[in-house]
Structure 1
Amino acid sequence: MKKIFLFIILLLFLVPNCFCLSGKNKEDLSTLIKKEMNQKNIVGLSIAVIDDHDVIWSEGFGFADRDKQKVATPETVYCLGSMSKLFTDFAILQLYDRGIIDIDKPLQTYLPDFSIKTLNKNQKDITLRDLICHCSGLPRDFLKDGHGKSHVDFSAEMDNNFLKELSETYRFSSSDPIYAYSNIGVTLLGLLISKKAGEHFVSYMDKYVFFDLKMNSSSFRLTTRLNNFVSKGYTRGVEDRWFAGNYYPASALNSSVLDVSNFIKMIFAEGVFEGKRVLSKDLVKEMYTVQNSENLFDFGFKMGLGWKLGQFDANHKLNYSGPIAFHYGFVTPFNGLVVILPECKIGVVVLLNSFPSGGLSSQIIFEVLSLILKQKNLENSNVQTDDLQNYDCDGSKVEGLYNLSAGVAEIKKQNGKLIFESSQKSFYFSRNSETGFYELCNLDGSKASKYSDLGFRFENKAEHDFIIANENGRNFVWGLRIDTPNYSNEWKERAGVYQIINLDGGDANLGDIAIKFDENRNLMFFAYSYPVALTPQKDFLLSPINNDLAFLNLLPLGKESGEALEVIKEKGREVLLYLGYKLKRTV
């Protein structure tokens, strides 16, 4: 008996101190989740919380199928959207680990058929690391066949068509690497995997990634077996579903919170899953190590190998000074978030079947992590934020026209105030003496609610003048000062309404397409809505290169980053090319 007692004592010292959420903790969190789901019209949600090698809480809320009253559970399968990229990136890192590829070699080493236009002949080759870190200069999306209402059976022919059509678009032409999120980039990694494996990407991932991690409810293809677990989707409470098309390696993975938990447990075990090494310890660490610290225009935004790094919630700052890695996922109407704290081995994944979600996944994960960090005594109020000490706060030097992520605005001095004037409304910048940031205020002096979470500074780098927004410690480019573009008569005459003429049976990923000419400001815009995300029509400044080529946003300023609008002649008439779509004017 004494030996048994001593053995138990020894085990208590050897077994990691795994945290357990109490019944009261789970009850309080469940109450919060149910309340927020009701307020935000969320039909179904699943959550899993991981501490080291254990799932310490997993639960489903609401319905996976409301009509059939089928409840959501931890086993419910959702489309992961952009979280799919983590697994495509992981497969690439495995091939790198085995010496089959080198992520620092040009993409064309492995995909010789890849080509894309560029105006900068001195631009460096795109490497696999660039694609993983979204620093390739590729557009975000290739919209033709990008999403659709019908499920696509992915094929080699589809992959070949994608490469051929991609060769007709442009890479934006900055000489310096810049973070610019790209579904195209990760899709190319998927095609590379197919080529090196000698089999289709989908089957390769099933056999060599999901099988090894015992992710038995995960696949990029909706199989008959998976369909028994797949949740319905709901947009504003109405059943709805969009499917990923040509960039499926970037956004089409179907999985559950329990399967994703296995991936997280592998990371916490430094590349080992259930006794089998699936990735080297060094590469696991590099996944959440900053890769873009030398990118001139990233302004403190941090990217690892596949994972974004830093604070994940725009409205709350987690009191934790260690590394935080996260990735959001969205493909209408599914969305979610996975967050890991790799040093203390805590992770949370939340998946939802409803859109819009009002930021519910980040809100839940923030509450869960805050609770665990507090109870583990791991909270630290000295949270590092991006270094802004060298930013120029002298407003007298920043007057001019600024290209924003959507539209333009003018900054000018007027009656002692620094006025920010957009086409919709005017504000003024007021400097906060405590933070050093500028804040946007309404002309009556009240704080502008639309921008209440943002602080602004001005920065000059490489002869570019930027407005840098800071949101809860994270920086991003919000505006770029520009000269007023010079529009030829040819461009002015193209103002009008346009329609897509090459849908080829697919669903339109753009709507309300138009070229606008603002005579008062002598500016032209390319405008469209984005029905996949319920985004209303937005205006994007056109910057002409010549009479037949213009770009949207010359540097990454949100979704549209250096994307080309090209004029071609087809059967004697002008047609516009935009990310795979051919557009003709109707009015």
Structure 2
Amino acid sequence: MKKRKVLSILTIILMSISSLVHAQESNQSINSKLIEEYKTLIKDKMQTGHLVGVGAALILGDTVWKEGFGYADKEKKIPFTTNTALCIGSITKPFTGMGIMQLQEKKLLDIDKPLVNYLPEFMIKARGGDIKEVTVKSVLQHTSGIPNDIFLNTWDENEKYTDVVGYLKNEYLAYPVNLTVHYSNIGYSLLGHTILKASGQDYQNYIQDNILKPAGMNNSGYINYCKLKNVSKTYDSNGTYFPVKYGRNTPAGGLLSTIDDMVKLAQELIAIYDGKRGGFLKPEALRMFDEINNGNVQISNVVFGWGVAKDDSNLVITHVGSHHVAVAEIAINLKKKIAAVFLVNTEGGLDLSAEATEKVWELSGMNSANQAHSVQNKNNASSIISVDSIKKHVGLYVDTRTSHVLKFENDKLILNSVYGNFELKPLTNNEFLPGYIIKPDSVKWLEKPRFIFVETKGYKLLYYQDAYNNRLALGHIVIPQEITGIWKNRLGKYKLEGHEIESADKFSEVELLIGDNNLLQLKVFYTSSEYLYNLRIENDNELIFCGFGTDTSGETLSFSKDGQNDIMKFYGLNMKKIN
């Protein structure tokens, strides 16, 4: 339930590399220097981060570098090579998405039609909505509102992806359809079920036969469905062997692959985007990527499972995945024919990618798209826009784990946020230019980004809109509610009963408490740290996670009684009050 990133941090790497390589593409020493920088970085990070095995690859135009480091099996001293297989976690989702797009090309389904047309078993409660609004496309884009996950029996060896639909009948959509991105593992398991229904072929076999084999990905596949060679062991952050299970959410995160095969995937997608016919998708399908950032406001930057980032000269598709402790990342710049791939068999592998991002950024010399400059602080409010229309935005805007306070003081609209303090200059009644307050008499105005206020489907939202018209919801306005005796009696700690989370970083205890701004909050005690989530009261028996984050937000937390004991239902798990 910790926040996931649909857009991989490798996006910056790819845009940076493209600037570096194509500005000086005749200079092969640039490529060699970059590869050596990566090798040094990986070796240093393996030592400091106790990473056991790493695979890495860069496609730089016609140059392909790929290499394995460390061990796939530390105990037996088996090296991690470019043909070592590792679970790529959520990078499975683009494969599922590409499978759906194949079925669209074959006219076996229409992504604009309701999901229930192809999966009649699909039933879920919707507050004021209709599940027929949940289209296949909305599930592909993570805008369906389908819950992020249900942990109950997720890792049961007798469960399959086709069982997921049965867990949703008593759950709620987290949001109205197409309101916001809500990252959903369950949604992609339902898409895997849809592939079975539409094709008549079991999901795993369909992906194997129709995507992996045509792409030449000969050592990729699913446990118990094909013979995989050189499968890596996995390790916790101390370098201790941590055996993993493969649960029922196979279409959302169960694929294993190698560096060699992921390079083949990247090369095939680059070729298809460049016009190749006869591949596992038609070039027309990949043109859907071009629809992102084309001047329109984006609800989602996800195209059949891939996160998309784009500017005038770059088109990067990307995803990050994790499976228990294993980590995988891929990013492909389709326009510049550049790609980067990482596989890490040890918890903490994302730190390596973060360091890699910084390294390439230093080499590239790229400037931020959101240029800024400092000016003296002035009252820049337009005389056309009334003070009352500005004041109507004042209030508390709450996200999943943060809150933002908007105040009107000294004839200015001021945003106090965890991201800093901003003066908002009105451009229209609902659109504001942000100025970062450096000190009381100096503001750094951001020329292209905007803060946008939107009222839709019962929510008043505060968005940050970047230079490419991508919108990120920072929160929705919340009027602090009275915390009644019913809820005060439920305050305290709750412990997980009859189930154990299968993860190196897991929780078994939570606490319901009253936090800042008189909001109910849920503190979740993970192995590594604690996380605090904001809640709003829906009724006497249900709380809803605030905000518009990519997973936990919008989910329902329900309460009931088991005799004299308070029971909290959290991600499908029963938690019993212990004090």
> How far apart are 1:89 and its partner, in Å?
0.7
Q: Residue 347 of structure 2 corresponds to which residue in structure 1?
A: 355
Q: Residue 404 of structure 1 corresponds to which residue in structure 2?
A: 399
> How far apart are 1:354 and its partner, in Å?
2.2
Provide the rounded CA distance (Å) in 2 between the counterparts of 1:440 and 1:65: 52
Provide the rounded CA distance (Å) in 2 between the counterparts of 1:26 and 1:409: 42
> How far apart are 1:485 and its partner, in Å?
2.3
> How far apart are 1:57 and its partner, in Å?
1.1
Letter in 1 for 2:259: V
> How far apart are 1:544 and its partner, in Å?
1.5
Letter in 2 for 1:338: I
- Partner SS, residue 269 of structure 1: helix
Q: CA RMSD in A?
A: 4.3
Residues 528/288 of structure 1: CA separation in 2 closer, same or farther (3 Å cut) = farther
- Aligned match of 2:494 in 498, 501, 505? 498
The alignment status of 1:539 with 2:532, answered yes or no, reads yes
Residues 105/66 of structure 1: CA separation in 2 closer, same or farther (3 Å cut) = same
Provide the rounded CA distance (Å) in 2 between the counterparts of 1:185 and 1:109: 15
Q: Residue 309 of structure 1 corresponds to which residue in structure 2?
A: 308
> How far apart are 1:172 and its partner, in Å?
2.2
Letter in 2 for 1:513: V
Q: Residue 204 of structure 1 corresponds to which residue in structure 2?
A: 206
Matches within 5 A, 1:187-586: 187-221=189-223, 225-226=227-228, 228-270=230-272, 276-287=278-289, 289-290=291-292, 298=299, 302-310=301-309, 321-361=313-353, 363-364=355-356, 399-408=394-403, 410=405, 428-429=421-422, 437-439=434-436, 458-462=451-455, 466-468=461-463, 476-503=472-499, 510-518=507-515, 521-531=517-527, 534=528, 536-553=529-546, 555-570=547-562, 574-586=566-578
Q: Residue 43 of structure 1 corresponds to which residue in structure 2?
A: 52
Provide the rounded CA distance (Å) in 2 between the counterparts of 1:580 and 1:571: 20
Provide the rounded CA distance (Å) in 2 between the counterparts of 1:236 and 1:417: 51
Letter in 1 for 2:176: S
> How far apart are 1:184 and its partner, in Å?
1.2
Q: Residue 70 of structure 1 corresponds to which residue in structure 2?
A: 78
- Aligned match of 2:179 in 173, 177, 180? 177
- Partner SS, residue 160 of structure 2: helix
Q: Residue 152 of structure 2 corresponds to which residue in structure 1?
A: 144
Provide the rounded CA distance (Å) in 2 between the counterparts of 1:131 and 1:385: 35
Provide the rounded CA distance (Å) in 1 between the counterparts of 2:464 and 2:73: 40
2:57–2:66 CA contact under 8 A, matched in 1 = yes
> How far apart are 1:137 and its partner, in Å?
0.9
Gaps of 5+ in 1: 1-16, 312-318, 448-452
> How far apart are 1:512 and its partner, in Å?
2.5
> How far apart are 1:578 and its partner, in Å?
2.3
| Higher RCO (C-alpha under 8 Å, 6+ residues apart) | 2
Gaps of 5+ in 2: 1-24, 373-380, 426-431
Identity %, equivalent residues: 24
Select between 239-248 and 358-367 the one with higher mean Cα deviation. Answer: 358-367
> How far apart are 1:458 and its partner, in Å?
3.8
> How far apart are 1:39 and its partner, in Å?
3.3
2:542–2:557 CA contact under 8 A, matched in 1 = yes
Letter in 2 for 1:46: G
- Partner SS, residue 233 of structure 1: coil
Letter in 1 for 2:102: Q
Q: Residue 20 of structure 2 corresponds to which residue in structure 1?
A: none
> How far apart are 1:115 and its partner, in Å?
0.8
> How far apart are 1:47 and its partner, in Å?
1.4
Residues 119/402 of structure 1: CA separation in 2 closer, same or farther (3 Å cut) = same
Provide the rounded CA distance (Å) in 1 between the counterparts of 2:90 and 2:109: 24
Provide the rounded CA distance (Å) in 1 between the counterparts of 2:66 and 2:112: 39
Letter in 2 for 1:97: E
Residues 248/558 of structure 1: CA separation in 2 closer, same or farther (3 Å cut) = same
Q: Residue 18 of structure 2 corresponds to which residue in structure 1?
A: none
Provide the rounded CA distance (Å) in 1 between the counterparts of 2:404 and 2:277: 57
Select between 122-131 and 68-77 the one with higher mean Cα deviation. Answer: 122-131
Residues 469/213 of structure 1: CA separation in 2 closer, same or farther (3 Å cut) = same
Residues 305/362 of structure 1: CA separation in 2 closer, same or farther (3 Å cut) = farther
1:50–1:347 CA contact under 8 A, matched in 2 = yes
Provide the rounded CA distance (Å) in 2 between the counterparts of 1:525 and 1:439: 29
* Corresponding residue pairs, total: 530
- Aligned match of 1:29 in 23, 32, 38? 38
Could you state the TM-score of these two structures normalised by the residue count of structure 2?
Answer: 0.78
Letter in 1 for 2:279: R
Residues 25/543 of structure 1: CA separation in 2 closer, same or farther (3 Å cut) = closer
- Partner SS, residue 315 of structure 2: coil
1:166–1:580 CA contact under 8 A, matched in 2 = no
2:475–2:548 CA contact under 8 A, matched in 1 = no
Provide the rounded CA distance (Å) in 1 between the counterparts of 2:109 and 2:241: 43
Could you state the TM-score of these two structures normalised by the residue count of structure 1?
Answer: 0.77
> How far apart are 1:362 and its partner, in Å?
5.1
